[in-house]
Amino acid sequence: MEYLLQQVINGLTLGSVYGLIAIGYTMVYGIIGMVNFAHGDVFMIGAFNSMILFLVMGSLGITWVPLQLLVVLVLAVIFTSVYGWTVERVAYRPLRGSHKLAPLISAIGMSIVLQNYVFLLQGAKPKPLQSLLPGGIQLMQTEDFVVQLGYMQIIVFATTIVLMYGFWKLITATSLGRQQRSCEQDMKMAALLGVNVDRTISLTFVMGAALAGVAGYMVTLYYGSNDFYMGFVAGIKAFSAAVLGGIGSLPGAMLGGMLIGLVEAIWSAYFAVEYKDVAAFAILVLVLIFRPTGLLGRPEVEKV
Amino acid sequence: MTAGVPLLNVEHLTMRFGGLVAIDDVSFAAQSGQITGIIGPNGAGKTTLFNCITGFYKPTVGRVALTAAGETHLLERLDGHIIAKTARVARTFQNIRLFPGMSLLENLIVAQHNKLMRASGFTVLGLLGLPIYRHAEVRAKELALDWLRRVQLIDLADQPAGSLPYGGQRRLEIARAMCTDPVLLCLDEPAAGLNPRESAELNELLLGIRDEYKIGILLIEHDMSVVMKICDHIVVLDYGRKIADGGPDAIRKDPAVIRAYLGEDEAA
Amino acid sequence: MQMMQTKSGPTFMNAMMAKDLAVTTFIAFSLSFLLVGFQTLALQGQQLSYINHLGDVAWSVVLVVLGRYGLLVDREGAHRITLVVCGVAAIYLIGSAVAGLAEVTWYAMLPLPFAQPMVNGIFGAGAAILAVRAASNMVTRRATMMSVEQREAYETRRNRLNRKFSQTVGPIMVLLAIFMPITPWGDRGRVDTLVVILTSVMLGWGLNIVVGLAGLLDLGYVAFYAVGAYTYAKMSIGFGWDFWQTLPFAGLFAAMFGVALGFPVLRLRGDYLAIVTLGFGEMIRIVLLNWTDFTSGAQGISGIPYMDFFGIPFIREPQEGQQSFAKLFGVEYSLDHRIYFTYYVILCLALITNFVTIRLRKLPIGRAWEALREDEIACRALGVNPRNTKLTAFGIGAMFAGFAGAFYATRLGFIAPFSFTFDVSAGILAFVVLGGMGSQVGVALAAIILVGLPEVTRELQLYRALIYGCAMVLIMLWRPRGLLSHREPTIYAMPAKSRFFGLWK
């Protein structure tokens, strides 16, 4: 029972990460109707950016932890967002209106480029980073097991909740959010009404990348081990989360992320840990078979 | 024509999208050897009705029965491609859907897909190059060329369909639908965007198909001159409801139709 | 606005260009500062440390901004100056990169932005692209200024050119492939390289059925290749069957996997298929890695029987009562026999793939694939079952990957999960995309270049995946249907002049 509780905490931590990445998938899918294949790699780059920033800050002698945490978060998000912008500008925008496979192929090309960019510059070995804030609060204690909520986990949860609130406000209550939703509904009409569609789509990619950057930051903080290949599997799982929650739905993406995180943590604890990735993938396939619209998604009406 | 049992019988058809009722309890019948016009103002639910009949949408309530050669198919239960294959309902689209990269001839050959699949032994015999498939392909090609002649596109047979002018694309789409050997042909605004001469030719073509093949034709059309000239029977929809049903002359005088088209005040 | 400026001569700087360059500077800096500037090192037993390469960051930013400026100036109409400057830069950078790769001594003395020759080469390639762009703009003017008719005529001309090229090059390539081993250049090492290339060509042709004809993006093609390889390994070792007995099963199992995977996904939208296949490729690898009882895990399976001559092995010393190739033909044993026979086997398999593809295209199923690619809704209205039709394409494509996988296993005698990573799928997709979707000769040429070149130097191998990725993006931007794509109708109303050459398109 205590063990299960610990796994739930770990699963929700992991789920927050997946959820943040999944929002990027779901927003881009909502607005241009396409999977952003490079999104997982943008997350990976976010993780690397955070890691390098922590290292550099450390070597500059800035060691007060709260300052480090805040500065790295802000800078990592900015640097990672630029990657999101670039992916859209290079791989998607010139191909709007081309045949339907073209943007998918260029995006997968982009994903390969990003992976190898990091591989060539930073090498193939996983990079371990020492934990900034070890320890945590003991929630429960029995004779042989301690349920612990790590400080890092608290930071992860707090950041996720604050971000989700801010993001929700951004989408529902600002003019940017309105423009974005109008582009989702009907891009042509939005353009005719004076919405700058190119800019709105760019901003969608930037927002997605910013959240992926935060996810990368959290992973660096919490797990402290990055490699150039980490975006690939995380991307597939986050996409599964987006589909499970209902693609196009923001709360769905977060919910799906949490569920996938929980499944993964519990699966690793009670079944074969090597197959945890396969379990997440199996969920994707099952959802596609039985409920392609996901938990919170609306059915798509085909235009004939 | 078997008297009594109509070719197509639509009963209490209702289609809802969430809260929106696109078609509300519509019933009508269409006969073989007749052109049945479906008219109504924009947004009256005409194309949705077509989509329900041809299996692209599953109606919320209602029955769509197609009776041909003594067999009845309940279309509301079938998928689109099965309706086209077994119930033999063919259709065209409001915003033309050809295979733009394929040649005109290929477009018409694809329309004979199921026939040719059988002849090619579901690819196996065809792969071996057996004569049974070669003969079937020659016959399919002849049928296709006949139709290309009929719609005056034979000279362009090897050109990609996407390079055709608008009117040619409309005609090709009708020819392609006819190549599936249908018992019911559903045409969604075939005269839209045509000039008067092309429109007149289209009328000839449709009347020719009706008289020669004795099949039923469902026709959505906005151009009243076309509708009144060639339809044997007209169904009028407004806001998803059927407001009138009858011959061209009766429809022309129907007060409900006049009201729907001209508005309440002017009619009063 | 552009028209006006063309009249008054090109502008070399204005507010808009300055703003554009400022944005470019910011972007280039943000993309390079952290990842290029700080190389992290994870040394054994030490904490993570870094060395900085801030000089490289500065150079990257400067070169990217200069390149962007060249593009802007070219857009203003100053094609010649862009062509000359970029051309010189490209020749210098690429030339020195080649010198560096060839390890000439004076390379280190050249004033070059980067230490690694490949990086200089990549920036040189960028300059070359700009130069080519400027040159083609000089000749044809900007594409946006072409009228619709001009562009159509251009497309038709290009189509005809591609067709002519394919019709000439195709048969020549086949003849070369057949006679290569008996020419003086056909030594054992080179033939072995050719075997690798031909396997890639076969995989490319197999994937072309799925991507090029049916328009389905399969990003996990390597999974079916792996299924074929493991089927062969397990069956040949477990049952003692030879290559020819096992081959059909390898294809069959791969096809079954394809159908089983495609069944739930193919009724959904195209990009779902792409990401599910992407995931599937990775999952197969994870299973192969962890199901140690069956696959021996990361160690892989060794001792897989080599290629045999229709049941008769190529061995030096056959045991009592055992037949061998050398004994049967009464010749001296030589390893060459097996390698050359292996070569002809893969040549036949590849040509069969090609032949079947061309044949399928002219059958109802092939036409339905192309029709589905063009418009699925119209297909449904014509009674074509979309799911079954796509499944056939998926299954047949997977089957050829299975055959190729079995061949791979028998050639090496050893297979392990690390041979079946996403990079392989990406590579095969790159052949199809680069060569031209639906163009058989194009796919073969792309495979020869992309597989053949990295064999030349080790350095290129490291950058191989990066080059694949860049190629995919650039080709999509420049010619989304691929370099050599062209489409001929599968049936003619008018009799064609020459049908014989049609076999090779």
Spatial CA neighbour of C478 closest among C9, C143, C147, C49: C143
Q: What is the pLDDT of residues B44-96, one digit of tens each?
A: 788 888 888 888 888 888 888 888 887 888 877 778 787 878 888 888 988 88
Mean pLDDT check: name the lowest of A32-36, A106-110, B12-16, C158-162: C158-162
Instruction: Choose, out of C34, C46, C273, C369, the residue to mutate when testing the contact with A (most A CBs < 10 Å).
Output: C34
Q: What is the pLDDT of residues A55-85, one digit of tens each?
A: 898 888 888 888 888 999 999 999 999 999 9
Q: Do A304 and B17 touch (CB under 8 A)?
A: no
C268 versus B138: which is more confidently predicted? B138
Instruction: Give the pLDDT score at B15.
Output: 86
What chain A residue is nearest to C279 in terms of C-alpha separation?
A236
Q: How many angstroms separate the CA atoms of A243 and A26, rounded? A: 8
Instruction: Give the pLDDT score at B100.
Output: 87
Bridging pattern class, strands B184-188 and B89-91: parallel
A304 pLDDT higher than 70? no
Q: Do B51 and A301 touch (CB under 8 A)?
A: no
Instruction: Give the pLDDT score at C221.
Output: 92
From B114's Cα to the closest Cα of chain A, the distance in A is: 22
Bridging pattern class, strands C301-302 and C414-415: antiparallel
Helical spans, DSSP H, in C11-116? 15-37, 54-75, 79-101
Q: What is the pLDDT of residues C351-404, one digit of tens each?
A: 999 999 988 888 889 899 999 988 888 998 888 888 889 999 999 999 999 999
From B54's Cα to the closest Cα of chain A, the distance in A is: 11
What chain A residue is nearest to B94 in terms of C-alpha separation?
A304
Instruction: Give the pLDDT score at C146.
Output: 59
B111 versus C2: which is more confidently predicted? B111
Note whether B139 contacts C: Cβ–Cβ < 8 A: no
The token pair at C384 is: 């074509």
Instruction: Give the pLDDT score at C141.
Output: 61
Note whether B117 contacts C: Cβ–Cβ < 8 A: yes
Q: What is the pLDDT of residues C25-56, one digit of tens each?
A: 999 999 999 988 898 888 877 788 888 889 88
Instruction: Give the pLDDT score at B28.
Output: 86
C502 pLDDT higher than 50? no
Count of beta carbons in the 10 Å neighbourhood of residue A78: 13
Q: What is the pLDDT of residues A157-200, one digit of tens each?
A: 999 999 988 888 888 888 888 888 888 888 888 888 888 888 88
Per-residue pLDDT band at C98 (split at 50, 70, 90): confident
- Check if the beta carbon of residue C429 is closer than 8 Å to that of residue C211: yes
**In chain A, positions 219-258, which contact chain C (CB-CB < 8 Å)?**
232-233, 236, 239-240, 243
- Check if the beta carbon of residue C250 is closer than 8 Å to that of residue C405: yes
Percent of chain B surpassing pLDDT 90: 2
Instruction: Choose, out of B117, B154, B183, the residue to mutate when testing the contact with C (most C CBs < 10 Å).
Output: B117
Phi, psi of B11 (to 5 degrees): -125, 125
- Check if the beta carbon of residue C274 is closer than 8 Å to that of residue A104: yes
With 0-12 / 13-18 / 19 or more C-beta atoms within 10 angstroms meaning exposed / middle / buried, residue C6 is middle
Note whether B48 contacts A: Cβ–Cβ < 8 A: no
Q: Do B93 and A302 touch (CB under 8 A)?
A: no
Instruction: Give the pLDDT score at A303.
Output: 63
Mean pLDDT of C115-128: 87
Note whether A301 contacts B: Cβ–Cβ < 8 A: yes
Terminal CA-CA length for chain C: 44
Q: ∠ CA(B76), CA(B77), CA(B83), 5° rounding?
A: 80
Mean pLDDT of C199-214: 91
Q: Do B56 and A304 touch (CB under 8 A)?
A: yes
Per-residue pLDDT band at B37 (split at 50, 70, 90): confident
A282 pLDDT higher than 60? yes
Phi-psi region of A277 (alpha: psi -120 to 50; beta: other; left: phi over 0): alpha
C131 pLDDT higher than 60? yes
Phi-psi region of A127 (alpha: psi -120 to 50; beta: other; left: phi over 0): beta
Residue A284 with chain C: CB contacts under 8 Å: 276, 279
Residue C370 with chain B: CB contacts under 8 Å: 99, 101-102, 106
Q: Do B105 and C489 touch (CB under 8 A)?
A: yes
A61 versus C311: which is more confidently predicted? A61
Instruction: Choose, out of A300, A302, A304, the residue to mutate when testing the contact with B (most B CBs < 10 Å).
Output: A304
Q: What is the pLDDT of residues B93-110, one digit of tens each?
A: 888 898 988 888 899 999
> Which of C6-15, C79-88, C244-253 is most confident?
C244-253
C431 versus A138: which is more confidently predicted? C431
Mean pLDDT of C414-436: 87
- Check if the beta carbon of residue C131 is closer than 8 Å to that of residue C83: yes
Strand ranges of the sheet holding B20-30, from the earlier edge strand across to the other edge: B20-30, B8-17, B61-68, B71-74
Amino acid at C231: T
A neighbour chains, 3+ CB pairs within 8 Å: B, C
Q: What is the pLDDT of residues B120-169, one digit of tens each?
A: 777 777 677 777 788 888 888 888 988 888 888 888 888 888 888 888 88
Q: What is the pLDDT of residues A216-264, one digit of tens each?
A: 999 998 888 889 989 988 998 999 999 899 888 888 999 999 999 999 9
Residue A287 with chain C: CB contacts under 8 Å: none
Q: What is the pLDDT of residues B210-232, one digit of tens each?
A: 888 888 888 888 877 788 888 88
- Check if the beta carbon of residue B185 is closer than 8 Å to that of residue B53: no
Q: Do A275 and C36 touch (CB under 8 A)?
A: no
Exposure letters B202-229 (e unless 16+ CB within 10 A, then b): bbebbeebbeebebbbbbbbebeebbbe
B81, B127, B180: residue with CB nearest C359: B127
C367, C383, C494: residue with CB nearest B84: C383
Helical spans, DSSP H, in A88-229? 101-122, 151-173, 175-185, 187-192, 197-222
